[in-house]
Chains A and B, each alone.
Chain A
Amino acid sequence: MAELPDTRERLTPDTFLRGLWEENPVFVMLLGMCPVLAVTSTTVNALAMGLATTFVLVCSSLLVSLLRNWIPKQVRIASYIVIIATFVTIVDYAIQAISLELYAALGAFIQLIVANCVILGRAEAYASKQKLMTTLVNSLGMGAGFTLALLSLGTVREILGNGTILGISIFPADFQPWIVMILPPGGFFVLGAWLLLFNWLRLRKERKAAEPTGVIADAR
């Protein structure tokens, strides 16, 4: 992520949108893969995990941005981690209070948000250099992008592996669910398939751009 400019960024729509697509933490940067694969066997779990991560991401980015002039450079990583761990503890207790069922389903992965490299990466590469407002918008975008990725895995895996979406059955009764999709290998396969799709789209776009004919230009 060294290509991010060192100077302060102006607040533009792109500050938010970048996290959704161009720098999507999961599909493009391949960060924070563990929860992406582990808790996406159903849509509800994926959504809860996405929201919890977004909360921690936004809060810790804000605090890092606020304290950026006071944290000494030598101990910055340790300080970021303590900040992140504090917010994760808050989320952990909050989810326990809201829904024990959800807490059991997500398991250790709530506490493992601490070790999610998306959050530390944002703190180090963005929040420690930018102003409060841009940091807020950017981390919201990143969180949304992360949630989107979790959902895109969660829905596919739930539909194929269980024949349901958000717990509602959508296939005729004789549909034989692909159990493998809810099991660990399914996570790898579905994410791999999404990446294949994005690769294919990117290659197609590049090929079109490389074609020297005027047909494409006219079509635009």
Chain B
Amino acid sequence: MHAEPLSLIFLNAAIVNNFVLALFLGICPFLGVSAKKDTAWNMGLATMFVMLVSSAAAFGINWLLTELDLLFLRLICYIAVIASAVQLVEMFVKRFSPALFRSLGIFLPLITTNCAILGLALFQTTKEYDFVQSIVYALGAGAGFTLALMLMAGLREKLALARVPSVSQGAAMSLMLAGLLSLAFMGFAGLGGSHG
């Protein structure tokens, strides 16, 4: 068991090893839903919720599969749990906010294939976090994902008003921006202790 303090786990997941900008997880929604700030915010929250649910479930599954000596089924079980959690969020959002449901569009069911969530479940298993540590790690990862999404959305809203050469419009420009953001986040390297 690790004696890593909870605050450090949170900081590490949210900023130092930011899931999007340092570990390259969840790039698809990062590029896809970062055009407007409020959509980005809601997407961030939805992802964070799925992260929390699947992190807690992954902890239980890992314990169960270790007991039963069925570890080769781990990946399949994780992805099944994530898919169900996403389904839950989708039904919830559709019921309570149809407008949000429309603005998130295809990216809501695609949270299933957001590798940040599966990555989170896999990393917490590798790091052998206990239950509370896993939850804090999930919160940190979700916060970091939302932060990256919001930063990007803010930049892109400004960019919409700027005159950009036609060659660099669209995805190319977004990737360059992401590179600069990632460069900025590298300034935090070493703050959170261990890598990964």
Contact = CB atoms under 8 A, between A and B. Distances in A.
Closest 8 CB pairs of A and B: A188-B179, A192-B175, A195-B172, A38-B24, A115-B115, A33-B27, A185-B182, A185-B183
A117 B110 contact: yes
Would you call the interface of chain A mostly helix, strand, loop, or mixed? Answer: helix
A112 B115 contact: yes
B75 A195 contact: no
8 contacts: A77-B112, A111-B118, A114-B118, A184-B182, A184-B186, A192-B172, A196-B168, A200-B167
Contact of B171 (A108, A115, A186, A195): A195
Contacts of A186: 179
B5 interface: no
A105 interface: no
Interface residues of A, number: 42
A115 B114 contact: yes
Interface in A155-204: 180, 183-189, 191-193, 195-196, 199-200, 203
Given A38-B24, A184-B24, A82 B76 contact: yes
Interface stretch (B55-63, B92-100, B119-127, B130-138): B119-127
Contacts of B110: 117
B: contact size bracket: 35 or more
A115 B113 contact: yes
A35 B27 CA distance: 10
Contact of A115 (B118, B172, B175, B186): B118
Would you call the interface of chain B mostly helix, strand, loop, or mixed? Answer: helix
A125 interface: no
Contacts of B88: none
A116 interface: yes
Interface of B: 21-28, 31, 72, 75-76, 79-80, 83, 109-110, 112-115, 117-119, 122-123, 126, 166-173, 175-176, 178-180, 182-183, 186
Nearest to B126: A108
Contacts of B180: 185
A57 interface: no
B178 A188 contact: yes
Given A88-B75, A185-B186, A199 B115 contact: no
Contacts of B169: 199
A5 to B, nearest CB: 20
B83 A199 contact: no
A129 B72 CA distance: 31
B179 A86 contact: no
A71 interface: no
A85 B76 contact: yes
Contact of A111 (B24, B75, B83, B170): B75
A77 B83 contact: yes
A188 B25 contact: no
Contact of B28 (A31, A93, A195): A31
Interface in A88-133: 88-89, 92-93, 108, 111-112, 114-117, 120
B179 A108 contact: no
